[in-house]
Structure 1
Amino acid sequence: MPNPDSAQKTAVRNAAAVIVLRDRQSSPRILMGQRGANAAFMPNKFVFPGGALDPADHEVPLAAALPDICAMRLAETAEPGLAQALAAAAIRELWEETGLVLGVPGAWPGEVPPDWQSFAATGHRPAASPLQFVFRALTPPGRPRRFDARFFLVDASDLSGDPDDFSAASDELSHLQWVSLRDARSFDMPFITEVVLAEIAARVTDRAPPPSVPFFKNDDEESLFLRLRGAGPLGPRVA
């Protein structure tokens, strides 16, 4: 007999978020914005730029691919071919929500997808090589929206243009600002954002990839804390 609750389960969408860090050696700051009061997911909270994967993100010709270790870790417990699409989504969401460009000058080969036309109009192609995969979290069951979110860290020095120029940003996030890493926890933010911040703070001066990537896996059966190491067929390991 069918489970009467099965129809009520919220579909999980792949998503990407970007933590932009500047002045990491002196007074580290991160870029955050506030979600609207009427947002269906995390209203009024201060968050990193990010959002759901779009179908077109799978087809975007990246000018530079993700580092191999990041791609390997993103591939663990995920459908094949997702890593570069998630990187593209991270770059697109960063552009849409902040007006900041992570890319290199150049013309696009072929037709530009509709969701990428404003990015392409800046004269850049998206480049994923500066991105560092640092965290993954699956929204717990029972929420109005659920995401399998991958968090990427990038240094502000890798952006094209002025990191203080948000003039091209959409209205998805308000109060865009560079927040001192020391003071960030005084902002009203989701619990998982606080956890990610703690990970970043612990490695703020180290630009090398982390030894492993934390994965908070909250599904219908259990909640696990895993470590993604790019372990190939062995998959992730419980910390």
Structure 2
Amino acid sequence: MTPDKSAIRNAATVIVLRDRMSDPHVLMGQRGAGAAFMPNKFVFPGGAVDAGDTDVPLATPLPQVCRDRLAEASPPDLAHALACAAIRELWEETGLVLGTPGEWSVPPPEDWRSFAATGHLPTAHPLQFVFRAITPPGRPRRFDARFFLVDADEVASDLDDFDAACDELSHLQWIALPRVREFDLPFITEVVLAEVAARAHDPRPPENVPFFRNDDEESLFLRLKGYRPTD
């Protein structure tokens, strides 16, 4: 059966922040001219959740505050798959490893075999949920994207070695935050970058998470604060 290209797919995007306290840079690459979604734009690494992401073992889980906020206005069991998708997409599109040395207790799904071959288990504790946005109607692809901020110090591999990256993003580079708007960016990326710039020197979780909810009927700007069953 042919996939419904108009369906909204859950997705994860990773903003890797380097030298955040002294000279903040973010890792971005350029999408191809023939890409169906955001051609030629400079973007963060990321992509849709795969079926195999659901059962991938994590060496460390997401922080509780992130899990609470990811569960708001979403299925409560989706947080794990989103974290795994973020780590996998970072690996596939940049060759950077967010993990800790270790052996897998189960055979990795096909999309995870190359990551597992590095000798690492994925770690989700460095992921900080900072933004969520649904692609507006009328676009060739629609995603419900969760943006995760990661301090580059948490990456286990060489920050300047992109040799293992696939060819989905070209011109991978670390861009100084003050210079990012010189590049051809999607609108939502500019919005997210404003949030990142405001938090670049503060490693604490944000007070709440902005959520652009573009439904077929209306567009809303919400704030996800997270909840716990005891609240």
* Fold shared by both chains (TM-score > 0.5): yes
Instruction: List per-residue Cα deviations over 1:63-100 (Å, max 9, x = no partner).
Output: 10000000000001111300011000000000000000
CA contact (8 A) 1:41 1:144 kept: yes
Residue identity opposite 2:114 in structure 1? S
Picking from 29, 39, 44, the partner of 2:35 is 39
Larger radius of gyration: 1
Counterpart for residue 203 of structure 2 = 207
Counterpart for residue 121 of structure 2 = 125
Counterpart for residue 160 of structure 2 = 164
Q: Distance in 1 between matches of 2:214 and 2:141?
A: 13
Tell me the TM-score normalised to structure 2 length: 0.96
SS at match of 2:178: coil
Counterpart for residue 223 of structure 1 = 219
Structure 2, unpaired ranges of 5+ = none
Counterpart for residue 175 of structure 1 = 171
Counterpart for residue 27 of structure 1 = 23
Q: How big is the shift at 1:231?
A: 2.8
Counterpart for residue 190 of structure 1 = 186
CA contact (8 A) 2:58 2:124 kept: yes
For residues 221 and 180 of structure 1, do their structure 2 counterparts lie closer, same or farther at Cα, with a shift above 3 Å needed? same
Q: How big is the shift at 1:232?
A: 4.5
Picking from 111, 116, 120, the partner of 2:112 is 116
Q: Distance in 2 between matches of 1:213 and 1:222?
A: 20
Picking from 145, 150, 175, the partner of 1:149 is 145
CA contact (8 A) 2:5 2:141 kept: no
Q: Distance in 2 between matches of 1:131 and 1:19?
A: 9
After TM superposition, the runs of 4+ consecutive aligned structure 1 residues lying more than 3 A away are none
CA contact (8 A) 1:76 1:232 kept: no
